[in-house]
């Protein structure tokens, strides 16, 4: 882990904070931090953050009025009210614990399904969040490349979005060359991105999972041999990535593997980082984690399955208290010998993306697993749902398979069998050379908007937004 103290950047208290944080973070990642010491840290930080927000945030001053913050502990945290996305959209700058001028950099959410909300980050926000990413990358890259550093291609937005800054900072700290080649940028495009991957010998690409397949589709369109391109590792983030999806990508890119690298958001920063096992590990020095019932809000504990609720432990510009992420996750302990510390979190999809289909209610990860389990050479897929003549559910899966795929019939039959077993429906599976372009939008709006076309009801806002921007993700222009 980097031992250099970050610049104060408007935060005169940062050096003292970093002096206490850095040794604890180092011990956490080295596996030498005891449970009692971690719990003491988290208890102390909870009190500090609650004082911070009730003193400096107009929203939290009202939201937590009457609460004696000195008496709140991790064990009693569930007595406090939730913070929701609606709160953030309504309160906007009043959620901040300080002025945007106190921040080191200003970001905001994309605003695809509601007003863009401000997400400035101060120096200590950046330092503590990036520390976990840096350590994750150090270990993953060492596992794949030994002592040398590969050239890294960053394929994500930079303006008003943390993606570019976070990974620029991390590659700089590790001494790796990076190149910003997001194909959706009007300055880049797929053709130039592919040329630079070949010319520069880009071995690592950081992107949303859907882009792994879109890039392969574009490479074939422009006459590249996927086996001759230098890509060896995709580090993915921004949407669910099931093991089945990762396994399929490895059959499309002959020399590349897929690893989830980060789970987080503009509002919540880096919640978890990826290990070379393909598992995501929670950044436990930086948060308190809870699981609640997504429908009732009932507290379910800190391990198991439910909607993730988090409380930030860093008193930066926008710490959130009992923030309902809307994400359905499973949390369990790290297995013995895991390459990263911290509980393991599996993201199974957005609570709002659950799908009622046939006799089942499916989470996004369950549907993707049913489609892609044992499938190879798939360049993309879309699930289309409508009503049959009797008014029941009808499901069709569209697959885009590699040219010359050796077992198209077996692949389609297998998908139909798995979906039938899951839903009780007779699924139709077809192979098409070109899918609906909305499938390439991936994490820009939501996994569901990109992968599922549900014609049983009027299209919701997220689907309409995804369709409006689909042309920006065109592969051939």
List, for residues 131-190, the tens digit of each pLDDT value: 999 999 999 999 999 999 999 999 999 899 999 999 999 999 999 999 999 998 889 999
* pLDDT (mean) for 389-402: 92
| Residue 474 pLDDT greater than 90, yes or no | no
**Edge-to-edge strands, sheet with 452-454:** 428-431, 393-401, 378-387, 452-454
The percent of residues above 70 in pLDDT, for the chain, comes to: 93
In the predicted model, what is the mean pLDDT of the chain? 92
Range scoring the smallest mean pLDDT among 80-89, 259-268, 383-392:
383-392
Look at the alpha carbons of 407, 409, 414, 415 in this order and tell me if their dihedral is positive or negative. positive
pLDDT in tens, 220-258: 999 999 999 999 999 999 888 999 999 999 999 999 999
- Per-residue pLDDT, 461: 72
Residues 308 and 301: beta-carbon distance below 8 Å: no
* Token reading at 94: 């009043």
CATH homologous superfamily, domain 1-348: ANL, N-terminal domain (3.40.50.12780)
Query: Strand pairing of 323-332 and 344-350?
Result: antiparallel
Model pTM score: 0.94
Task: pLDDT band for 8, please (50, 70, 90 cuts).
Answer: very low
Q: Are 307 and 291 in contact (CB under 8 A)?
A: yes
In tens, the pLDDT along 197-222 reads 999 999 999 999 999 999 999 999 99
Task: Give the residue extent of every domain in the chain.
Answer: 1-348, 354-473
- Would you say residue 5 has pLDDT above 80? no
Sequence-distant (≥ 6) Cβ neighbours of residue 34 within 8 angstroms? none
State both tokens at 444. 């820009």
**Residue 453: is its pLDDT beyond 50?**
yes
Q: What share of the chain is helix, strand, coil (3-state, %, to 5)?
A: 40, 25, 40
The pLDDT value given to residue 456: 87
CATH class label, 354-473:
alpha beta
Looking at residue 455, what is its pLDDT? 86
Per-residue pLDDT for 466 more than 80? no
pLDDT at position 329 is 96
Q: Rounded to an integer, what distance in angstroms lies between the CA atom of residue 119 and that of residue 138?
A: 27
Query: Which tens digits make up the pLDDT trace of 24-43?
Result: 999 999 999 999 999 999 99
What's the pLDDT band for 443 if we cut at 50, 70, 90?
low
CB 213 within 8 A of CB 228: no
Q: 417-456: b or e for each residue (b if 16 or more CB lie within 10 Å)?
A: ebbeebbebebebeeeeebbbbbbbbbbbbbbbbbbbbee
Mean pLDDT, range 436-459, rounded to an integer: 78
Residue 93: pLDDT above 80? yes
Where does 360-446 have alpha helices with state H?
A: 364-372, 408-423
Burial 242-257 (b: 16+ CB within 10 A, else e): bbbbbbbbeebbeebb
pLDDT at 40: 97
Q: What is the pLDDT of residues 306-364, one digit of tens each?
A: 999 999 999 999 999 999 999 999 999 999 999 999 999 999 988 888 889 988 899 88
The percentage of residues in the chain with a pLDDT greater than 90, rounded to a whole number, is 80
Q: Is the pLDDT of residue 434 over 90?
A: no
Report which of residues 110 and 4 the model is more confident about: 110
pLDDT category of residue 440 using cuts at 50, 70 and 90: confident
């Amino acid at each position: 882990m980097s031992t250099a103290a970050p610049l104060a950047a408007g935060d005169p208290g940062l050096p003292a904070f970093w002096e206490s944080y850095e040794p604890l973070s180092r011990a956490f990642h080295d596996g030498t931090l005891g449970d009692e010491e971690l719990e003491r840290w988290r208890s102390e930080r909870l009190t500090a953050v609650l004082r911070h927000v009730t003193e400096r945030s107009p929203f939290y001053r009202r939201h937590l009025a009457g609460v004696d913050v000195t008496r709140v502990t991790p064990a009693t945290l569930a007595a406090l009210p939730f913070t929701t996305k609606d709160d953030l959209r309504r309160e906007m700058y009043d959620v901040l614990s300080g002025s945007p001028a106190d921040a080191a950099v200003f970001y905001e959410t994309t605003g695809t399904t509601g007003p863009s909300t401000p997400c400035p980050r101060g120096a200590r926000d950046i330092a503590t969040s990036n520390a976990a990413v840096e350590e994750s990358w150090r270990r993953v890259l060492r596992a794949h490349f030994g002592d040398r550093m590969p050239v890294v291609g960053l394929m994500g937005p930079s303006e008003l979005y943390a993606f570019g800054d976070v990974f620029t900072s991390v590659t700089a700290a590790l001494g790796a060359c990076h190149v910003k080649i997001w194909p959706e940028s009007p300055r880049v495009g797929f053709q130039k991105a592919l040329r630079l991957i070949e010319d520069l010998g880009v071995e690592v690409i950081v992107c949303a999972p859907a882009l792994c397949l879109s890039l392969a589709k574009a490479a074939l369109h422009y006459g590249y041999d996927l086996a001759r391109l230098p890509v060896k590792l995709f580090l993915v983030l921004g949407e669910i990535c099931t093991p089945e999806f990762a396994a399929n990508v490895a059959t499309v890119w002959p020399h590349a593997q897929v690893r989830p690298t980060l789970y987080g958001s503009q509002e919540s920063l880096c919640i978890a980082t990826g290990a070379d096992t393909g598992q995501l590990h929670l950044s436990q020095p930086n948060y308190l984690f809870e699981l609640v019932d997504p429908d009732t809000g009932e507290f379910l504990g800190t391990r198991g399955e439910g909607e993730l609720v988090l409380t930030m432990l860093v008193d930066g510009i926008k710490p959130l208290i009992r923030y309902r992420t809307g994400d359905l996750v499973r949390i369990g302990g790290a297995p013995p010998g895991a390459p990263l510390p911290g509980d393991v979190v599996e993201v199974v999809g957005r609570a709002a993306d659950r799908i009622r289909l046939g006799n089942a209610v499916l989470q996004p990860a369950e549907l993707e697993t049913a489609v892609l389990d044992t499938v190879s050479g798939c360049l993309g897929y879309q699930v289309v749902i409508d009503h049959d003549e009797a008014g029941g559910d009808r499901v069709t899966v569209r697959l885009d398979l590699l040219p010359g795929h050796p077992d198209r019939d077996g692949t389609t039959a297998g998908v139909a069998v798995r979906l039938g077993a899951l839903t009780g429906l007779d699924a139709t599976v077809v192979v098409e050379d070109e899918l609906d372009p909305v499938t390439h939008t991936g994490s820009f709006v939501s996994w569901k908007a990109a992968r599922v076309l549900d014609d049983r009801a009027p299209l919701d806002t997220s689907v309409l937004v995804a369709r409006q921007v689909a042309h920006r993700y065109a592969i051939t222009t």
